[in-house]
């Protein structure tokens, strides 16, 4: 008990929550902690479901690339929860070495937004971005990148380099990996497997 200016002041181990102008309820700290934990868990689950939905859209783009005999990588660019642009690999069709799914999605989104900066935007891509795409992601000032499968031979986000989280650079990006990893990896494996079979058949 503490006496301050003649008024008794009781120190609670509790959190005070306002319920209106005339009502105050004291919630024990452990209950408040449990509530906050439940809210965080719910938000995390919601984000996971949202990530899965957008990654499924990116996979649809990858399937389009597969059907066009392009390396099956798809990308979806989202801002404020809405799809701004989506694309898939198309270097063969366009005779353009830079026509990766991420690059094309960023170009489309910038044109739609009327701005070369895409502050707050999120990119969902089925394969870990390469050095070129990671550079474009930084230049566009994306806030977050979500990718499915790692690329051990060219990945510049987690595998070979950590470009998006390098604090020596003037912008960093939040990274989430492994969303629908198996599905994203399987379509790539199937593409190259079938390509090898066709090549071997041609030799025979």
Show me where the domains of the chain are located.
29-203
Beta bridge partners of 86: 76
Residue 16 confidence class, pLDDT cut points 50, 70, 90: very low
If you classify domain 29-203 with CATH, what class do you get?
alpha beta
Full-model pTM: 0.78
Choosing from 70, 102, 122, 128, the catalytic residue is 102
For residue 24, pLDDT beyond 80: no
The answer to whether residue 102 is catalytic is yes
| Cβ density class 8-44: b for 16+ within 10 Å, e for less | eeeeeeeeeeeeeeeeeeeeeeeeeeeeeeeeeeeee
Question: How many other CB atoms sit within 10 Å of the CB of residue 141?
Answer: 16
With beta carbons less than 8 A apart as the criterion, state whether 107 and 100 touch: no
Residue written as token pair 């604090």: 167
3-class DSSP assignment, residue 148? strand
Between 73 and 3, the higher pLDDT residue: 73
With beta carbons less than 8 A apart as the criterion, state whether 28 and 14 touch: yes
Q: Can you tell me the mean pLDDT for 128-155? A: 99
Beta bridge partners of 176: 146
pLDDT tens for each residue of 45-91: 666 789 999 999 999 999 999 999 999 999 999 999 999 999 999 99
Which of 70, 56, 64 is CA-nearest to residue 192?
70
Q: Could you give the CA distance from residue 150 to residue 178 in angstroms, rounded to a whole number? A: 8
pLDDT tens for each residue of 159-179: 999 999 999 999 999 999 999
Q: How many CA atoms lie within 13 A of 177 on its CB side?
A: 15
Q: Could you give the CA distance from residue 119 to residue 171 in angstroms, rounded to a whole number? A: 11
Query: Alpha carbon 4 to chain centroid distance?
Result: 53
β pairing state of 122-127 and 74-79: antiparallel
Q: For Cα atoms 201, 71, 139, give the angle at the middle one, nearest 5 degrees.
A: 160
3-class DSSP assignment, residue 171? coil
């Amino acid at each position: 008990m503490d006496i301050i200016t003649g008024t008794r002041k009781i120190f609670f181990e509790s959190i005070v929550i306002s319920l209106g102008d005339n009502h105050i309820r004291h919630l024990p700290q452990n209950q408040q902690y449990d509530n906050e934990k439940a809210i965080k868990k719910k938000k995390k689950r919601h984000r996971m479901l949202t990530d899965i939905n957008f990654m499924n859209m990116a996979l649809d783009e990858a399937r389009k690339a597969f059907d066009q005999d392009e390396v099956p990588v798809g990308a979806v660019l989202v801002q404020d929860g809405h799809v701004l642009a989506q694309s898939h690999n198309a270097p063969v069709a366009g005779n353009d070495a830079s026509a990766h799914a991420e690059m094309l999605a960023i170009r489309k989104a910038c044109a739609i937004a009327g701005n070369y900066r895409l502050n707050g935007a999120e990119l969902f891509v089925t394969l870990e971005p390469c050095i070129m795409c990671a550079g474009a992601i930084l230049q566009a000032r994306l806030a977050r990148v979500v990718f499915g499968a790692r690329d051990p031979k060219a990945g510049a986000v987690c595998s070979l380099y950590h470009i998006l989280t390098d604090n020596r650079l003037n912008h960093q990006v939040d990274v989430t990996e492994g969303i629908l990893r198996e599905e994203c990896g399987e379509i790539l494996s199937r593409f190259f497997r079938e390509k090898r079979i066709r090549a071997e058949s041609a030799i025979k």
